Amino acid sequence: MGALPPFAFATLPAVSGQDEAGGRRHPVRLRPAARRVTLAGMRLIPLFAILAAGSLSAEPQLCDNRLFTVEAGDAGLRRQICEQSDSALTVLADCGLPKPDPVRVRVVEAFETDCVGLFHCGVGLIEVLAPEPMTERQADFAIFAEIPPRDFQASILMHEVAHAVLEKTPCPDRNCLVTEEYFAYMLQILSLPDADRDRLSTMLQGKGVDHGAYLNEFILLMAPEKFILHAWAHLSSRPDPCAHLRRIAAGDLSFDQDDN
């Protein structure tokens, strides 16, 4: 597969903005062709507007793991998300990564923005699209398009859980956008079945590529799928990928400080 065009439909990495609860927002979004994204504009989206965009009200269900509480209108969907949260905790445990603080997962039918998932720092809230609208959006994520929908949905939850894990990690630079997205996307990929991870590994061709050179804010914002693929190749080439992720979680490694 050749280099991805910089303005293809793609996942837009999380941008740290402020919500009305005083915490940062970490969305997984879609970026249409040639659309300019401004950080300042994203910060103006109030939390109440996002929550009003179509949440599925229901009695919250505390998962058996006692860390996740799910708000969704369908009992089967609540059970499914609890199972996905168990899987996310297993991915973290397998890599020796810390658990997040207790988190609410709210299923919504739509966002005011083009998000598919959103973590609100400071309030312990993850919002994800309901399965049907998320499946409709999945085709716009080119590198994830062939993944079974339920696996894709679980990976979005894993991505937002990763942001929850990093909430307590100090950010030594002006922002930790690249570091946080590297961590979240890598855990998202690690949560996928082996066959889907292997498919991603074949999307970058060529030897002797300096994958670390692609781990910067410009590539992240302008060609996010290229960022994801190079980040995955970069992590896969580490002697101990989990130790690499633990350094990020501990605050000992920051790509924003160019010490990768």
**Intervals of the chain under pLDDT 70:** 1-58, 205-208, 257-260
Residues contacting 227, CB < 8 A, separation 6+: 13, 181, 185, 214, 215, 219, 220
* Domain positions in the chain: 10-257
Q: What pLDDT, on a 0 to 100 scale, did the predictor assign at position 250?
A: 95
Q: How far is CA 145 from CA 9, 19, 88, 183, 236, in A?
A: 11, 30, 21, 21, 21
Tokens of 89: 């905790």
Q: What is the reported pTM?
A: 0.80
Adjacent-strand bridge partners of 71: 106
SS3 138: helix
Separation of alpha carbons 203 and 125, rounded Å: 33
Q: What pLDDT, on a 0 to 100 scale, did the predictor assign at position 44?
A: 28
Q: What pLDDT, on a 0 to 100 scale, did the predictor assign at position 38?
A: 25
